[in-house]
Structure 1
Amino acid sequence: MSTIRVLCSVVVLTPLAAAAQGAANYPDRPVRLIVSSAAGGGQDIVARTFAARLNEQVGQSFVVDNRGGGGGSVGAEIARQAPPDGYTMVLMSASAVIHPLLYKSRYDILRDFIPLSQITQQPYVLVVHPSVPAKTVQELIAH
């Protein structure tokens, strides 16, 4: 291999090695996990459980920061404005994802965020007062 090729390889590969070394140290400070709903609800419980597991696995603090309001758009907007350094994540529900498609919004869900993973599924249950004589949705409609 010629000297020029070796030098070119060193020049090209050195920054990549430095970037890989830097990535190995992530995170080197606490990570903020914005939750786009109020504290105490299902999304908050999921976020706190997720953060606790990340704390154990990574050895760094993942701090839950509840920012509810606007159907999840408040938390999403705060996350959008954060520096793009990997130290702010946002846990969104489907409503925060759908919000900019239905209403004017400062964020564009497809441009401003990259989905990493679905971390849970939460089914919704339809319930009625026990005095309602319905055991199915059809019976409820007929009532």
Structure 2
Amino acid sequence: MSNSVAMNFAVLSETREEAAETKSYTIGDLAREFGVTLRTLRFYEDRGLLSPRREGTARIYDARDRERLSVILKGKQLGFTLTEIRAMLAEERGSNGVAANLNLSLPQVEDQIRHLEQQRAEIEEALAELRACRARLIDAA
């Protein structure tokens, strides 16, 4: 491959990366893509987790906001609170400016596993009690 062809590929690659970084999204775009409500996105904004720019009354999200939303939703899926997720995002931002992932430590992971296992035990106990109550009600009918 000649140097000019290699250089053209490099320029094209940089141009694509720049386009991805400058791509903007409306609140509706992100809501559809991530399967969340507009209210959820506004809530995350109110809590300081997302910071779209405004064009009149429209919220315009950039690639950074999109990535942060992905991380927020992953954190919620893993059972972390918004306060915990905010702290993780703040740590990530301090290290390289981009929140690419939750960047969890081993103690955080182990603590969250214990927490979720405790919740599961409590849910199983509640389900057993409700099933017993249902059986009593069916028998009484």
TM-score by length of 2: 0.31
Greater percentage in helix: 2
TM-score by length of 1: 0.31
